Structures are given as C-alpha cells and as structure tokens.
Structure 1
C-alpha cells in the first residue's frame, strides 16, 4: 500500500464526531459537492467496500484482511484519490466514515441495502435488508442503490429475499433512484453457499432479477465476468456494471477478462472491491489506476 492519506488527527476527529457530534455526519452529506451520475464518456468506475457488514472479511488466503477499519479507510482514501474513480459502494458505517472524513466530494455514492445473509450462517440465503433503505438514501442524497440477489432453488430463504428486492426496486423507481441488482444462482455445497458462475446460470439469474418490481426503469445489473460474456450480455438491455470478485486468481488474467468484457454493448463500467483494495503486490494506487484506465481510456492517462 502507498503512504496513508489520512492523518492520525483526522481519525481522532472522526472518533470525536461519532462520540460527541453525531449530527456532524448528516451535515457532511448536506455539504457534499454532488455530480451527475455518468460523466462525459457515459462510464462508471466504483470501488466497493460493503463486504464486512455481511461478515465477509477475507481476501484471498487471509481470513481477516478487511477487519482493520482504519486500514480499510486508508485504502479507500487512496482509491478515491486516483483519477477516473467515480465513486464508492458501501454500507452506512463505511459511507458515514468517508463522508465525515471529507472524502466524498464529487463522488458517486452507492448504498448497499441487504447484508443480513451473513457469510456462513444457516440463514445465509434469507438475505434481509439490514443496510440502507430507499428513504434514508434519498434523505442523505445518496446517488445509487445496490442489492445482492442470490437465488437458491433448494432454499426457502430465497423467497423473502426476492420479495424484499422487488419492494426495493419499486421504492427506488418511485424515488427515481438508480438501483443495481447483483444476481447469482446459488447452491449449498458442503454447508457453504457457492455461486454458479457458468454462463447459463448467470443468464438465468439475470432473467429472474430483471423481472423483480413493477417498474424496471431505474434498474441496473451488476454481473460477474464469466465465460461467454457476449451471450451473457445478450440476456439484458439494462445498463450493467461488472463486478471484480476476490483476488485469488492471476491479476493479469483478471484484468484481461475485464478489458474484454468492458467492450461489450450494455457494459457501463466496473464495481470492484477486494481485488483492487488488497492487490497481490499491495500497491493500491497502481491496481486502481489499471482499472480506471480500462473504464475511462479517454480520460485517464496510462500508467
């Protein structure tokens, strides 16, 4: 990781705000300089950090990589400072920290909504909406909503998750708030939820998720990069952001797969977290710059 960009004094101020001046958090949102959703090239590059709220702290072989909140915020600060990074995806705790630290001016904020399906829990598929709701995002001026839609045909917990997601889509459309759905066909394998990343399964998940709610006008997709992405993208007319997944694979192969998928019709950019925030060589700035140049080649100079 490059040198931290948040001083100890800033962290002390953040702790003081949380303990003594909680209204200052809301004030930081009111003062925030906003921007249009899509820039001149119509693309978006969002850095994601909503994993801890679902109990998912692992990156690669390190089971607690995201446990240190101060280190995560420092990595987020580096990412948000890089050219071509349009915004951040997070749960209220992380977004509030970043807002109070003054790091969200001119950035898109994506609010993560359902984090109740805790990693490894017996109720993991019953993914209750325990994070943001549409009303709170509208009140804070948050720009975008995000949901996780895992569909397990053998687990009844899927049904209330689908119902809650349809309600979220309805509320987002009524509020004219863009909402991205991240769908997967999922299965229990050795007491763990495993997402099926075959092209046919991804296409099936798109069909199910796209039909949720009574108004799809503001619905986006957030999809994994898999084999046969051309065929996958033919399954939807909705604007799509690609997700990055974990960083367990070969970085060069990962970047190449993103580059190829970004050229497909309907793909509007990337939403990536752990792969860029905790890269193999620990150089956050360099990893973010590579991805930013893929999304915004006309706006971000090559490293």
Structure 2
C-alpha cells in the first residue's frame, strides 16, 4: 500500500488497525549493523513541548514538514534509524520509512520543558510492552538528576524499573543521564544540565548502576567541550555509548565546531555512534541531505 503524508489522517480515522499491521510486516535488522556503528536521527522533542529548531520557535510543530525531513534523513546512506514518540514512529510506519531501519521508542516525556514539575520526569511515552508489541528495536529514556529536587528520586526509581522491564524482554534501552539544576524563579525558571567533566562522570556512574541488570543498557551522553575531559568521563563505565548531538546553534561556525567535537569523541573506545536530531533535520546551513551526510562521514 502506497501511503503519502496527506493520507495519514484518513488512515488513522478509518483504519487505526493499519498501524499494527504495518508494525507486524516491517522488515527488521540488528541494532548494530555490519559497520559496527550507529547513526540515529532523533525526533522526540515535540512531546516535551520543545518545538524550536533552526532559530524558529515552532519549527517542529509542522508535522508534515517534520515527516518529510525525517523521510529524507532516513533515506540517506549510513543512517541506521530513528528515535521518536509513538505518534511520530507510527506515522513513519504507515509511510513505510522504517523498513530495514532501527526504531527506538521514547519512553519518558512527562518532564515538560519549562514546567514546575520538569524534573519529575514521568514515563508517559512508550512502555516496554508497547515496544515489544510493535516489534520496535529499543527504547530511550531521559534521566536528569537534581540533588536539590525530590522529584529526581521518583525518576530514578521509575528508570530502574524501566531498565528491568526492558531487560526482561531483551530490548536495549538507551539511558540519557544528566546532573541538572534549576535556575531562575517563577516563569523564568529553567533546568540547566551540567556538562562539566565531574558532572558527566557522576551521571555515568549513577546511570550504569541502575536496575537488576545492565546487560541491555546503553548510554546516550553529551559531548563535553574538552576532548580529554570526555575521554576521562567515559572511562567510568564499560557500557556501550552513543553521543547526544543536541542543539548546536544557528551559525555555520557553531555547526563546524560541533562536528569537530563529535569527530574527536567518536574515537573513544566505548563510543558506538551518534544520535542527532534538530541540528540535522533543521541545519544551520545547507540541506538535510548535506547535514546528514556530513554526520555519517564522521563515523
């Protein structure tokens, strides 16, 4: 069945069972392919209300445009798969864009950007049983720890439970840990992640020890500004790691600086690949194709 983006709403309204059918017939592949590296495009930002990209505050709110960009990225050589919430992955399923690709479900999106409860990051996305039912390949969760916020303990406990549930189903889970703190007051209050080597090292140690087994746990880590610091931090664990691309700014110079940091960090022994979202889907300069191809070239 040939499905276009303009068909999605009609299919969802009249044939919701089509999503399960598409999931059942999707061609799968191993998580890590013959090249031994992973290149994953991330698109789970909207479910946290984080819609800004490329200098535009609501860029990711245009779903048809986002899906076009994702399909373009997934079509490029060397791109292994996509990370997204249920709505996005199911749109891509219907479009046939996930055949032969790695599909990673985003699990906790309850810590809405800018909310007073942001650090009480509830699991409002994919559950382990959903990922298994839909034959997806892995899950991802965000773990922000603020030593001054009791909500972090709730997230820690829920994270450990999710790791256990994923391991029971032999599904890999990518844990994205940060040591965080809240700055500002009232409407201006924001969560800031500490990217110092000390904080990243501590976050790795905490995340690596969660759950009854780490057999299926991967780490998804930010890149520190200093290559030596990054090398020191990843020595904290033997767990396989992918690098978090993050938002790299709106200028060509910032983009090139980020690529150089990624290039150095990819040489580290535990680092297995990249997970990058907005900076590839909404590049500061050039096309989606050019940005994706450049990132793949770093691997």
Aligned pairs for 1:240-255 within 5 A: 240-248=241-249, 250-255=254-259
Aligned pairs for 1:204-283 within 5 A: 204-226=202-224, 227=226, 228-248=229-249, 250-283=254-287
| Residues 60, 247 of structure 1: 8 Å contact kept | no
Asked if residue 80 in structure 1 is aligned to residue 85 in structure 2, the reply is: no
Asked if residue 124 in structure 1 is aligned to residue 118 in structure 2, the reply is: yes
Aligned pairs for 1:1-303 within 5 A: 10-190=4-184, 191-226=189-224, 227=226, 228-248=229-249, 250-295=254-299
Whole-angstrom CA distance in 2 between matches of 1:187 and 1:32 = 41
Whole-angstrom CA distance in 1 between matches of 2:32 and 2:175 = 18
TM-score, length basis structure 2: 0.94
Pairwise CA RMSD of aligned residues?
Answer: 1.2
Whole-angstrom CA distance in 2 between matches of 1:158 and 1:62 = 31
* Shift of residue 11, structure 1, vs aligned partner: 2.1
* Shift of residue 58, structure 1, vs aligned partner: 1.3
Aligned-partner SS, 1:131:
coil
Runs of 5+ in structure 1 lacking a partner? 1-6, 296-303
Whole-angstrom CA distance in 1 between matches of 2:118 and 2:29 = 36
| Residues 59, 247 of structure 1: 8 Å contact kept | no
CA-to-aligned-CA distance 1:174-220 (integer Å, 9 cap, x gap):
11100010000000011100000111100111111111111111000
* Shift of residue 282, structure 1, vs aligned partner: 4.6
Q: Kindly tell me the number of residue pairs found equivalent between the two proteins.
A: 288
Aligned-partner SS, 1:212:
coil
Aligned-partner SS, 1:45:
strand
Aligned-partner SS, 1:66:
helix
